[in-house]
Amino acid sequence: MATAAMRMRRSLALCYHLTAALLLLAFLHAPLAGAQPLPWQLCDSAAGNYTEGSAYQANIRALAGGLPRNASASPALFAKGAAGAAPDAVYALALCRGDTNASSCAACVAAAFRNAQQLCAFNRHATMFDDPCILRYSGQDFLANVTDNSGRFVAFNGNNVSAGAAAAAFDAASGRLVNATADYAAGDPTRRFGTGEEGYDATYPKIYSLAQCTPDMEAADCRSCLRDIIEKFTPQYFVGKPGGRVFGVRCNFRFETYSFFSGRPLLQLPDVLPPAPAPAPAAAEEGEFLKQKTNKK
Ligand SMILES: *[C@@H]1O[C@H](CO)[C@@H](O)[C@H](O)[C@H]1NC(C)=O
Ligand SMILES: *[C@@H]1O[C@H](CO)[C@@H](O)[C@H](O)[C@H]1NC(C)=O
Ligand SMILES: *[C@@H]1O[C@H](CO)[C@@H](O)[C@H](O)[C@H]1NC(C)=O
Ligand SMILES: *[C@@H]1O[C@H](CO)[C@@H](O)[C@H](O)[C@H]1NC(C)=O
Ligand SMILES: *[C@@H]1O[C@H](CO)[C@@H](O)[C@H](O)[C@H]1NC(C)=O
Ligand SMILES: *[C@@H]1O[C@H](CO)[C@@H](O)[C@H](O)[C@H]1NC(C)=O
């Protein structure tokens, strides 16, 4: 997995800051200074524990045996499933990134099951976020509610674009791309997946972005899921940042100033042109401007 290792090193070099936004879970992680390599797990021991050799454990293993293949075989690289009966029923969802191939998808979901059972050992509820895939299993039927995107991770590039107006211009450009990519993803009827690219300036020649929802969501629900995490986390974490991402089980997005997805971008925005120098105002216009101003008083 040379590419994953490269991505990891890149994240380390960029000094990613990671914060867990556990809005439904009862606790909140403080932002962690410095990088933490993927995968990122959300464990929930408050949701209860299972024991070695239990029916619950057998049901997790049954899902681990089938879901990687089911996700990788589906056109949208998505699978959900349930195993067992109450009170030991386990529900699970796996989503691979839209630009992942079938073999990487299956390998990622299988690894996510293994990692979850180690990193969230004996927790009935666990979520794993990795670059190529997302996995959650739980004793609660969270599959029924496609708009429940609770339990999220936010990470941002610790560098700053630059001070003042330049940062605001960058934020406007990246925000435009992120929003357009979210529109694209919601409008994709089979995969709910979008990638985008926008030319920017000499320092950041291009901005790249990606957005995805689970493909069992309606277009409007997908767009509103993305709008929610964009609105909630952009002002809080991504102001003046050259990269950031929000992971949720139902929708996720990411933007960077380097290429991080495979294949050509599905959406190409026109380059952002450097602001044209303001033309020297003519005397008449100046007069009109002043007149307008005085009239308003
Ligand atoms: C699950 O186990 C952890 C420690 O392994 C413990 O802290 C937690 O309270 C347990 N949860 C429940 C609901 O019993
Ligand atoms: C995988 O898909 C098959 C065929 O649809 C289904 O019978 C099986 O239950 C699925 N496995 C899981 C773990 O959901
Ligand atoms: C699938 O993707 C991985 C990682 O990008 C790559 O190493 C592998 O060669 C690809 N496999 C196929 C069959 O395209
Ligand atoms: C689904 O989850 C969302 C978010 O947690 C919640 O607002 C909504 O009421 C839930 N819908 C149902 C039908 O439970
Ligand atoms: C970016 O700006 C923040 C807030 O002003 C500051 O705390 C942080 O150290 C800066 N990061 C870098 C890498 O300069
Ligand atoms: C992107 O959309 C959000 C609402 O979803 C809005 O608050 C923000 O201003 C938009 N950004 C740009 C640059 O259009």
Q: How many CA atoms, within 13 angstroms, populate the side-chain half-sphere of residue 112?
A: 33
**Considering only CA atoms, which of 20, 47, 23 is closest in space to residue 36?**
20
Residue 10 Cα distances to 4, 24, 51, 158, 198, angstroms: 10, 31, 39, 12, 21
For tokens 């330049």, the residue is 166
Cβ burial of 189 (10 Å; 0-12, 13-18, 19+) is exposed
Structure tokens belonging to residue 37: 């390599």
Tell me the CA–centroid distance for residue 295 and ligand 4, in Å. Answer: 52
Q: How many CA atoms, within 13 angstroms, populate the side-chain half-sphere of residue 3?
A: 8
Residue whose Cα lies nearest atom 14 of ligand 1: it is: 48
pLDDT at 162: 83
Q: Which ligand 5 atom is the nearest neighbour of the CA of 15?
A: 13
Helical pair 55-73 and 102-119, crossing angle rounded to 10 deg: 160
Q: Cβ distance 143 to 67 under 8 Å?
A: no
Q: Cβ distance 147 to 222 under 8 Å?
A: no
Question: Residue 142: phi, psi to the nearest 5?
Answer: -75, -10
Tell me the CA–centroid distance for residue 272 and ligand 5, in Å. Answer: 25
Residue whose Cα lies nearest atom 8 of ligand 1: it is: 45
pLDDT at 95: 98
Q: Which ligand 4 atom is the nearest neighbour of the CA of 146?
A: 1
For tokens 């004996």, the residue is 122
Cβ burial of 256 (10 Å; 0-12, 13-18, 19+) is buried
**Considering only CA atoms, which of 158, 160, 161, 162 is closest in space to residue 17?**
158
| Nearest ligand (C-alpha, residue 151) | 4
pLDDT at 22: 36
Relative to beta strand 267-269, strand 193-199 is: parallel
Split the chain (297 residues) into runs of 10 and give each run's mean pLDDT: 38 43 31 64 92 98 98 98 97 98 98 98 97 97 96 91 85 97 98 97 95 98 98 95 96 97 96 61 36 30
Helical pair 219-237 and 165-187, crossing angle rounded to 10 deg: 160
Which residues' Cβ are closer than 6 Å to ligand 3?
Answer: 3, 101, 103-104
What are the start-end ranges of the H helices in the chain?
2-14, 55-73, 102-119, 165-187, 219-237, 283-296
The structure's pTM equals 0.85
Q: Which ligand 3 atom is the nearest neighbour of the CA of 262?
A: 5
Which residues' Cβ are closer than 6 Å to ligand 5?
Answer: 158-160
| Nearest ligand (C-alpha, residue 147) | 4
| Nearest ligand (C-alpha, residue 224) | 6
pLDDT at 25: 29
Tell me the CA–centroid distance for residue 270 and ligand 5, in Å. Answer: 30
Q: Which of 3, 101, 108, 130 to mutate to test the pocket of ligand 3 (most atoms within 8 A of CB)?
A: 101
Name the helix (H) or strand (E) containing 170: helix 165-187
| Nearest ligand (C-alpha, residue 221) | 4
**Buried-state track 153-173, b at ≥16 Cβ within 10 A, e below 16:** bbbbbbeebeeeeebebbbeb
Domains parsed from the chain with CATH numbers? 38-144 (3.30.430.20), 153-269 (3.30.430.20)
Q: Which of 25, 27, 45 to mutate to test the pocket of ligand 1 (most atoms within 8 A of CB)?
A: 45
Q: Which ligand 1 atom is the nearest neighbour of the CA of 121?
A: 5
